[in-house]
Chain A
Amino acid sequence: MKTFQYVVKDEVGLHARPAGLLVKFVNSLNSDVKIEFNSKSVSAKKLFAVMSLGVKHNDKMTFVLDGANEEDDCAKLKEFCEKNV
């Protein structure tokens, strides 16, 4: 299992567009990916679940990756977040 924390940079938070991009990207990974935020944990592969977290600008969320490729996937996901979220 790999985890990392990420602070949302997008001004309006994890709204539809970045959430959509994120979910789309995570679905291309083999690992199981969860987001933990505000004592909730949801699958990062599900759009409604991700959006329902209501993550805002400057909020810190935690990604939890699980799977055979978790090392690689974790690096990819970090890079993706830096660019898009």
Chain B
Amino acid sequence: MEKINGVAASKGIAIGKLKLCLNIEDQIVKRQIDDVSAELSRLDKAKDEAVYELNKVYLNALKRVGEAKSMIFQIHIMMLQDDDYFSTIQHIIKEQKVNAEYAVWQTGKQFSNMFANMDDEYMQGRASDVLDISKRLIHRLDSSLANGLDSIDTPSIIGVTDLMPSETVQMDKEMALAFVTKEGSKSSHSAILARTMDIPAVVGLSDKFSKLTNNANIIVDGTLGEIIIEPDEKILAEYQQKKKDYEKYQAELRLLKGTEAITKNGVKLEINANIGNPEDVEMVLENDADGIGLFRSEFLYMNGNSLPSEEEQFVAYKSVLEKMGSKRVIIRTLDLGADKQVPYLNLPHEENPALGYRAIRICLDRKELFVTQLRALYRASTFGKLAIMFPMIISVDEVKQIKSIIEQVKSDLSKEGIAFSSDVEIGIMIETPASVMMSAELAKEVDFFSVGTNDLTQYTLAVDRMNHSISNMFDSRNPAVLRMLEIAAKNAKNAGIWIGICGESAADTSLTDFYVKIGVSELSVTPASVLELKKAVQQVDIK
């Protein structure tokens, strides 16, 4: 039995078997070989097996999703059988006298780079197909290599280097009892994702991660940030009790459903939920949130291999709006870049992505992409109560540009005879010090402010939220951050608009009365924290 500590990233207790899911890249070792022809025949055999396997996948898909959508597996087969691809692998084995796994991965990377560098978004998306077939081939060569997240088929505790948003959104939530990760911090996206899914998580284990072995029995305490490896019976019983207690507490919170978030002195707050996927709506309704305060639209861009079409986006927005009925849904436009990359956008590597080409900066530069999203949003607006907000704003000029694009989109829709709602609220994220400094002017341009406390903390304190060595300095309660909030709230009030908080610290109940005092009227948190926050608001009493 051994206990290790990490960062408590998502509450709850899980007891179960650990499944390590590591990137192929981290597991491939370069090995010198003597017998080239044996290695080449291993490769041939692996290819035949991979093709056989893909054929089965293809035939299966053909029955389920039809010819057009199954074609991708045919393409994968053809890619595997492609002469150029295969002879490159053989060449590396022969020339460098190395193992086939290494040669396949080198070749996969080389071909995928070729696609990634093409001047065509669709083709850039093919880069991931090449990596996909290369991984398949490598698994045929060495089946002992740990699989990716998508291969988990029994509920397990999942151990990964870091949770990639693109992988996490694709995985079956039922399969994850808890997450434990080597990298990440409390405010990294993986931690946020875990909280949204209400799955216990301990992140940032760094070197201690190597103590975890595949199939070990472990306990994860996401509330304290502890992991117990191979617990003895006494500890196991103790944690089974703790787990029960936690579940009981959750049950008590559920009794608050249907009650309003009103402080003792009569101030009513709107408690909303943050979501990152249409499926999360169930969690929102389950936890009785007043609405959705932040719907991150990135999932649309991360699930596929190419930009989501207007129709695809429309369907997703519409489904959420319909399910929420008369409750407000605030959708944030594309917030990629920085630590949320997608391969097909082909964003160049940046030295300092947090201050780089991201979010609204991409949208105002690549307007076609922005227009597609806005059209989908406005088309969906007739199906519920939609509000739209824009991330990373630093100037009034940006807001003016956005508004003029919106006018254009609306006028196009009118011309095409497509209906849209005329009372869609427009708001901005307050997450840069610049937006706080300009909040008096910005408030005159929009209907609401929503504070992103993670980025506002990062930019105000100049503390990188991804950097472990200064993670103790990342403090949303720092007086400088709180003063920023006060200024923005005052200017919102003066202009007669509302201000909310959708960042992580909205859930920090030690700040709830501060928020009420400065005039914040909306708090948006992960669905799993809604009821706990409601309880905290009901206890606030400001004289």
Contact = CB atoms under 8 A, between A and B. Distances in A.
Contacts of A23: 78
Interface in B100-126: 111, 114-115, 118-120, 122-123, 126
Interface stretch (B40-48, B82-90, B417-425): B82-90
Given A16-B75, A20-B74, A20-B75, A48 B123 contact: no
Interface string B70-95: 01101100110011110000000000
Nearest to B114: A52
Given A20-B78, A23-B78, A56 B120 contact: yes
Interface in A1-46: 12-13, 15-17, 20, 23-24, 45-46
B126 A51 contact: yes
A46 B71 CA distance: 17
Contact of B82 (A13, A16, A47): A47
B498 to A, nearest CB: 43
A81 interface: no
Nearest to A18: B71
A6 to B, nearest CB: 19
A61 interface: no
A20 B71 contact: yes
Contact of B83 (A15, A46, A51): A46
Contact of A16 (B72, B111, B119): B72
Contacts of B115: 51-52
Contacts, number: 47
B82 A54 contact: no
Contact of B75 (A12, A17, A54): A17
A73 to B, nearest CB: 20
Nearest to A27: B78
A54 B85 contact: no
B84 A16 contact: no
Contacts of B122: 12-13, 15
B120 A16 contact: no
Contacts of B74: 20, 24
B309 to A, nearest CB: 11
Nearest to B84: A48
Nearest to A15: B122
Contacts of B111: 48
B129 interface: yes
A47 to B, nearest CB: 5
Contacts of A48: 79, 82, 84-85, 111, 114
Contacts of A56: 120
A60 to B, nearest CB: 17
Residue with the highest number of chain B CB atoms closer than 10 Å, among A45, A48, A56: A48
B78 A17 contact: no
Contacts of A47: 75, 78-79, 82
Contacts of B68: 17
Residue with the highest number of chain B CB atoms closer than 10 Å, among A20, A24, A51: A51
B518 to A, nearest CB: 51
A24 B118 contact: no
B118 A16 contact: no
Interface in B183-205: none
B111 to A, nearest CB: 6
B108 to A, nearest CB: 12
A16 B126 contact: yes
Nearest to A52: B114
B345 to A, nearest CB: 17
B119 A54 contact: yes
Contacts of B85: 48
B84 A46 contact: yes
Nearest to B130: A48
B84 A54 contact: no
A13 B271 CA distance: 48
Contacts of A52: 114-115, 118
A23 to B, nearest CB: 6
Contact of A15 (B79, B82, B119, B123): B123
A23 B72 CA distance: 14
A17 B120 contact: no
Nearest to B80: A47
Contacts of B75: 16-17, 20, 47
A45 to B, nearest CB: 8
A23 B82 CA distance: 10
Contacts of B84: 46, 48-49
A74 B68 CA distance: 27
B84 to A, nearest CB: 5
Nearest to A23: B78
Contact of B123 (A17, A20, A49, A51): A51
A17 to B, nearest CB: 5
B537 to A, nearest CB: 51
A49 B123 CA distance: 13
A49 to B, nearest CB: 6
Contacts of A12: 122
Residue with the highest number of chain A CB atoms closer than 10 Å, among B82, B123, B126, B129: B123
A12 B125 CA distance: 13
19 contacts: A15-B122, A16-B75, A17-B68, A20-B71, A20-B75, A24-B74, A46-B82, A46-B83, A47-B75, A47-B78, A47-B79, A48-B79, A48-B82, A48-B85, A51-B123, A52-B114, A52-B115, A52-B118, A54-B123
6 shortest interchain CB distances as A-B pairs: A20-B75, A47-B78, A16-B75, A47-B82, A48-B82, A48-B84
Interface of B: 68, 71-72, 74-75, 78-79, 82-85, 111, 114-115, 118-120, 122-123, 126, 129
Given A15-B122, A48-B82, 12 more contacts: A15-B123, A15-B126, A20-B74, A45-B83, A47-B75, A47-B82, A48-B114, A51-B123, A51-B126, A52-B115, A52-B118, A54-B119
